[in-house]
Homo-oligomer: A and B are copies of this chain.
Amino acid sequence: MTTVDTPFALIDIDRLDRNAARLRDHLSGLGVPLRLHVKTSKSVEVARRVHADGPITVSTLAEAEHFADAGYRDILYAVGIDPHKLPRVAALLRRGVTLTVLLDSLAQAEALTRFAAEENLRVPALIEIDCDGHRGGVAPADPALVHIGRSLGPHLAGVLTHAGESYFAYTPEALRQAAQNERDVAVAAAETLRANGLHCPIVSVGSTPTAHAATDLAGVTEVRAGNYVFFDLVMAGIGVCGVDDLALSVVVTVIGHRHDKNWVLTDGGWMATSRDRGTQVQAVDQSYGLVADEHGDLIPDLLMTGASQEHGVLSTRDGKPVPDLPIGTRLRILPNHACATAAQHDRYHVASGNSQTTWSRLRGW
> Does A282 sit within 8 A of B, measured CB to CB?
no
> Does A276 sit within 8 A of B, measured CB to CB?
yes
Minimum distance in angstroms from A157 CB to a CB of chain B: 19
Instruction: Tell me whether A82 and B6 are in contact (CB under 8 A).
Output: yes
Instruction: Tell me whether B265 and A136 are in contact (CB under 8 A).
Output: yes
A105 in contact with B256 given A85-B5, A308-B164 (CB within 8 Å): yes
A343 in contact with B344 given A59-B309, A83-B328, A256-B104 (CB within 8 Å): yes
List CB contacts (< 8 Å) of A313-328 with chain B: 313, 326-328
A313 in contact with B135 given A275-B275, A275-B340 (CB within 8 Å): yes
List CB contacts (< 8 Å) of A101-120 with chain B: 104-105, 107-108, 111
Name the B residues within 8 Å of A256 (CB-CB). 80, 104-105, 108, 136
Q: Find A271's partner among B80, B85, B104, B343 (CB 8 Å cutoff).
A: B343
Instruction: Tell me whether A82 and B39 are in contact (CB under 8 A).
Output: no
Minimum distance in angstroms from A112 CB to a CB of chain B: 11
Q: Find A309's partner among B84, B111, B258, B339 (CB 8 Å cutoff).
A: B339
List CB contacts (< 8 Å) of A257-272 with chain B: 257-258, 261, 265, 267, 270-272
> Does A124 sit within 8 A of B, measured CB to CB?
no
Closest to A266 in B: B82
Closest to A226 in B: B309
Q: Find A135's partner among B60, B136, B265 (CB 8 Å cutoff).
A: B265
Closest to A271 in B: B343
Minimum distance in angstroms from A41 CB to a CB of chain B: 13
List CB contacts (< 8 Å) of A1-53 with chain B: 2, 5-8, 39
> Does A310 sit within 8 A of B, measured CB to CB?
yes
> Does A346 sit within 8 A of B, measured CB to CB?
yes
Instruction: Tell me whether B60 and A310 are in contact (CB under 8 A).
Output: yes
Q: Find A80's partner among B39, B136, B265, B313 (CB 8 Å cutoff).
A: B265
Name the B residues within 8 Å of A351 (CB-CB). none
Minimum distance in angstroms from A21 CB to a CB of chain B: 25
A82 in contact with B310 given A344-B343, A365-B6 (CB within 8 Å): no
For A352-365 the 0/1 string (1 means CB < 8 A from B) is 00000000000111
| Separation of A88 and B308 alpha carbons in the complex (Å) | 23
> Does A279 sit within 8 A of B, measured CB to CB?
no
A328 in contact with B105 given A261-B133, A310-B60, A365-B6 (CB within 8 Å): no
Name the B residues within 8 Å of A108 (CB-CB). 255-256, 327
> Does A188 sit within 8 A of B, measured CB to CB?
no
| Separation of A267 and B104 alpha carbons in the complex (Å) | 14
> Does A183 sit within 8 A of B, measured CB to CB?
no
| Separation of A340 and B80 alpha carbons in the complex (Å) | 26
Instruction: Tell me whether A83 and B327 are in contact (CB under 8 A).
Output: yes
19 additional A-B pairs beyond A80-B265, A274-B274, beta carbons within 8 Å, are A7-B365, A39-B309, A59-B271, A60-B310, A79-B310, A80-B267, A80-B311, A82-B267, A82-B327, A82-B328, A84-B253, A105-B257, A111-B327, A111-B328, A135-B308, A136-B311, A270-B340, A309-B339, A346-B363
Q: Which 4 A-B pairs have CB atoms at the shortest separation, nearest pair first?
A: A275-B275, A80-B255, A107-B327, A136-B256
